[in-house]
Amino acid sequence: MIQIPALRFGKTYTSLDKAQLIHHVTGEPIAEVSQVTGSMIARDLANMARAHRELRSIPIRDILAMYAKAADYFLNSALPCGDAELTYDQYIRHLSATTGSPIVFCDRNARKVHYVLSHIEEVIGGLTRGLPLEAFDKGYTTAGGRMQAFFPTTDVLGAVLPSNSPGVHSLWVPTIAFKIPLLLKPGREEPWTPYRVIQAFIKAGIPATVMGFLPTDHAGSADILRLCGRSMAFGDDRSMAPYKNDPRVEIHGTGYSKILIGADQADRWEEHLDVLVEAVAANGGRACVNTSAIWTPKNADAIAWGMAKRLATVKPRPWDDPQCEISAFAKPEVAEAINNMVDEGLKTPGARDVTQEVRGTPRLVKEGRCAWLLPTVIRCDSPDHPLANKEFLFPYTSVIEYPHADLLQRIGYTLAATALTEDPAFIAECMGCANIERLNIGPLPTNRLTWDQPHEGNLFTHLYKQRALQFAHAVTAA
């Protein structure tokens, strides 16, 4: 069993409190992860001004070169993992074993982390809208004849991370390039990716003193969000509610992502079936950018039936099967609870589970220690039905028929929307819609992301603020 310590900004710490991670299929213990308390985190954070100074003193070009090396190490080297060393393939197997996410998903998503590491200049260029890199060394740039100055909003970014997919780690990876120290609180079942990225950084030359890997409980997580000048946190609506109005915390919560079919495309829905299915089911349907509602002005019954026929073929497969399309639930009781929520919603008239009608078998499948929830398409008669605007940890979507007139006012918060339309007027409406964060126009699934554009907030503007700056000539000369 691998012993994974906490990394307290340069100091390895083996705690007496450890969380044991087990293989979701065999129940075999895989690792023990040292846990720290909120008060230990508070003590470590007291040193962040010093860590920030240390990181700031490294030229940005050097840091970017270290990212390139780290990207290579992440994918191609055996890297320390506590008292073990793991190759990339071993890392992926462990990740899959403890999260229940199939190996094929873990590999695909871990490569997103590699992509950001290896394309860091492109990513920070996108997030800063092309700010010349010298600004990160000097604090300002006059390139283009215009003064642009920025100051950091914090000495450290705290990241309270989830366990559901390694792809989310792409979001915090640019932090070090922005010269901000990083505190990572891993998800309980997913210490692997944060620990591996930190090890790749250390091997590439980033000082260990600017990175913390601090597994902790809910109270410790709350301390991170309280004490870090800036943080990002992943969680459901309920757990994130206390931070909704805290500008220091960037919330990554429920996505409520949607596909909005234009009147001009509603009769051509079959041509878009691949896009609809991918948006709902890619990556096991667990991401906040997976579509969870499809709004169409007509043909809703046909669309729901067409999707159900496609999705009803999805079956649970072993975790190491390359054909896997859905994730297992390592805790079957979670799958049961979600299944009950759907069934409870179906008791309200005005909705039917079309996939179950097509498939003829229950949504919940249990085998051994695991459970799966099969893809589910719910045809809702109205956007007010309790199942119309839900998001679950499996491929799930509602299909709603609704006229265009006030559609954009009714959809509510939408992290990612695909507007399936070529109608300039509808496109213009979508462009002006404040309910939508990420917008894909045309047949691009909601889950297709570019990493050089903001996602639930822009990491650069979270970590930096623009300031007015003027120099007297004598000072600039100095």
Q: Whose Cβ is closer to other proteins: residue 137's or residue 217's? A: 217
Q: Which of 311, 411, 319, 300 is nearest to 369 (CA)?
A: 319
Phi-psi bin for 74: left (phi > 0), alpha (psi -120 to 50), beta? alpha
Q: Whose Cβ is closer to other proteins: residue 47's or residue 142's? A: 47
Q: How far is the CB of 171 from other proteins (least distance, A)?
A: 23
Q: Whose Cβ is closer to other proteins: residue 64's or residue 222's? A: 222
Q: How far is the CB of 306 from other proteins (least distance, A)?
A: 42
Q: Whose Cβ is closer to other proteins: residue 212's or residue 316's? A: 212
Say if residues 434 and 326 touch (Cβ distance below 8 Å).
Answer: no
How far, in Å, CA of 455 to CA of 252, rounded?
9
Tokens of 78: 């055996």
Q: Whose Cβ is closer to other proteins: residue 61's or residue 218's? A: 218
Q: How far is the CB of 46 from other proteins (least distance, A)?
A: 6
Give Cα 193 to chain centroid, integer Å.
13
- Residues contributing to the site for other proteins (CB under 8 A): 15-17, 35, 37-40, 42-43, 46, 222, 226, 238, 241-242
How far, in Å, CA of 231 to CA of 457, rounded?
12
| Alpha helices (H) along 57-149 | 60-76, 88-99, 103-118, 120-127, 134-138
Question: What phi and psi values does residue 343 have, to the nearest 5 degrees?
Answer: -60, -40
Q: Whose Cβ is closer to other proteins: residue 148's or residue 209's? A: 209
Q: How far is the CB of 65 from other proteins (least distance, A)?
A: 36
Q: How far is the CB of 17 from other proteins (least distance, A)?
A: 4
Q: How far is the CB of 35 from other proteins (least distance, A)?
A: 7
Q: How far is the CB of 222 from other proteins (least distance, A)?
A: 5
Query: What is the bridge-based pairing of β-strands 414-420 and 257-261?
Result: parallel
Q: Whose Cβ is closer to other proteins: residue 216's or residue 447's? A: 216
Q: Which of 275, 283, 305, 433 is nearest to 379 (CA)?
A: 305
Say if residues 423 and 263 touch (Cβ distance below 8 Å).
Answer: yes
